[in-house]
Amino acid sequence: MSFENLALHPSILHALQEAGYTEPTPIQAQAIPEVMAGHDLLASAQTGTGKTAAFTLPALNLLATPHPSKSRGPRILVLVPTRELAQQVNDAARKYGKFLRARTVSIVGGMPYPLQNKLLSQPLDILVATPGRLLDHMERGRIDLARLQMLVLDEADRMLDMGFMPDIERITAALPGDRQTLLFSATLEGNIARIAAQILRNPKTIQIASQQAKHENIEQRLHFVDDMSHKNKLLEHLLIAPEVNQAIVFTSTKRHADLLAEDLHAAGHKVAALHGDMTQGARNRTLTKLRHGDINVLVATDVAARGIDVAGISHVINYDLPKFAEDYVHRIGRTGRAGKRGIAVSFASHAERFQLRKIEQFTGQRLEAAVIAGLEPQKRIQQPKPHKFGDSGKPRNSGHPGNKGGGYKGAGNRQPGQGYGGQKRQDGEKSFSKRSGRSFA
């Protein structure tokens, strides 16, 4: 199938041609006709499948027909969980809407209000927003939503996890009842189904691929680790390998992301941290550096890294396992972008076997443990088996690094002043080797 078969407006086809897209991805081929026919949509699709264009293209197609109303408010509203994703959707709408002259504005938390007030006072077509800040502006009467025709909830599962649902309910209650609504989520189960039933009207449902079929271009590896020092040795080994172009290293806390980035910097890596405590400006600058290849290693937390679309990322390293199994899928999806191959490596301690099991259940794929000669774990490790929790057969409360289930202490447990090797951190002690008792050289 080609984009021409989808009856998109010629100026959108022109932009797609310029972007070098030759044919729609499966989610685009299935979603675009349903949306253009006016249906509500419930779609499960991961990032990397082309889901952004799957809603942006039919939304832009709607804009190709002028609206009769004199109102200046947005005709399309896209709600997203994070600033980074807002930026990505904004960029996509501008790219595909280039020849339509669609006016797109992004309104996210952490940005100055006066600038946003100014942006919102101008005529606009597409508004991309995080729910909290949008609601703020709505309550201040800054947005005219009278001519809104389409609402898109992007990464709805994530918005749910982040506690945005009460805000979303208040936002949807204030929108015109005859709008079209599209909901995209990594999963359609659990609370998402409930919310979909509440917000969507007779939606068409699209499930683009089973969990198992996803990420076929990403090689997933697992290394069992004894302790923090072992993790650091493995990390070094992985990062200096010639096949690493760019890597994202995931930690469980913001503070740990900063500290690990500092250590890697001291060890000579071109590295930066990315997390939610940074200002929007600092986050944007870091992502620009990553895109331009000025940094090779990004140490990030889950929320901040969601939506990052940088083709050069060859490796994702789960230094700490994610708290939620869904986040594992989001993390590894940062590599293997734009049809490339990627490698995702996870570190797990003996105490985290239950958490590994949850990830395997979610992805439907078994993570086979690998070893690196000279860096084998010294502790005896048993891979988790189905329906079995631990050696004792009893459930263990050690599912993620925040728990105190075993001998290993996750990075998330580190107390202020405590180094990676578990020793007391000395002021001014900058080198990774001193903290972990080993060398990067």
Stretch that binds ligand AMP, among 44-52, 121-129, 172-180, 206-214 (CB under 6 A): 44-52
Q: Does 124 bind ligand AMP (CB under 6 A)?
A: no
What is the helix (H) or strand (E) element at residue 245, kind and residue range? none
Closest by CA to 245, choosing from 310, 304, 305, is 310
Question: Which burial class, exposed, middle or buried, applies to 317 when counting CB atoms under 10 A from its CB (0-12, 13-18, 19+)?
Answer: buried
The Cα 131–Cα 238 span in angstroms is 38
With the CA atoms of 259, 435, 369 and 47 taken in that order, what torsion angle do they form, in degrees rounded to the nearest 10?
10
- Cα-to-chain-centroid distance, residue 3: 27
The Cα 38–Cα 33 span in angstroms is 9
> Binding residue for ligand AMP (CB under 6 A) from 13, 15, 24, 34?
24
User: Is the CB of 55 or the CB of 440 nearer to ligand AMP?
Assistant: 55
User: Is the CB of 28 or the CB of 220 nearer to ligand AMP?
Assistant: 28
The Cα 129–Cα 143 span in angstroms is 12
User: Is the CB of 59 or the CB of 228 nearer to ligand AMP?
Assistant: 59
| Least distance in angstroms from the C-beta of 361 to ligand AMP | 24
Tell me, by CB under 6 A, how many residues bind ligand AMP. 13
Residue 217 CB neighbours (<10 A): 13
The Cα 55–Cα 32 span in angstroms is 7
| Least distance in angstroms from the C-beta of 236 to ligand AMP | 30
What is the helix (H) or strand (E) element at residue 92, kind and residue range? helix 83-96
Q: Does 47 bind ligand AMP (CB under 6 A)?
A: yes
> Binding residue for ligand AMP (CB under 6 A) from 8, 12, 48, 335?
48
User: Is the CB of 74 or the CB of 333 nearer to ligand AMP?
Assistant: 333
- Cα-to-chain-centroid distance, residue 66: 34
User: Is the CB of 47 or the CB of 335 nearer to ligand AMP?
Assistant: 47
Stretch that binds ligand AMP, among 49-57, 161-169, 187-195, 432-440 (CB under 6 A): 49-57
The Cα 369–Cα 373 span in angstroms is 13
> Binding residue for ligand AMP (CB under 6 A) from 51, 75, 330, 357?
51
Q: Does 25 bind ligand AMP (CB under 6 A)?
A: yes
Q: Does 53 bind ligand AMP (CB under 6 A)?
A: yes
User: Is the CB of 338 or the CB of 373 nearer to ligand AMP?
Assistant: 338
User: Is the CB of 231 or the CB of 330 nearer to ligand AMP?
Assistant: 330
Residues 254-313, interacting with ligand AMP (CB under 6 A): 309
Residues 195-224, interacting with ligand AMP (CB under 6 A): none
E strand residue ranges, 252-307 = 271-274, 297-300
Closest by CA to 131, choosing from 162, 169, 164, is 164
Dihedral sign, CA of 310, 246, 156, 214?
Answer: positive
Supply 243's token pair. Answer: 């096949």
Q: Does 335 bind ligand AMP (CB under 6 A)?
A: no
Stretch that binds ligand AMP, among 18-26, 199-207, 245-253, 380-388 (CB under 6 A): 18-26
Q: Does 342 bind ligand AMP (CB under 6 A)?
A: no
Q: Does 334 bind ligand AMP (CB under 6 A)?
A: no
List contacts with ligand AMP (CB under 6 A). Answer: 21, 24-25, 28, 47-53, 309, 338
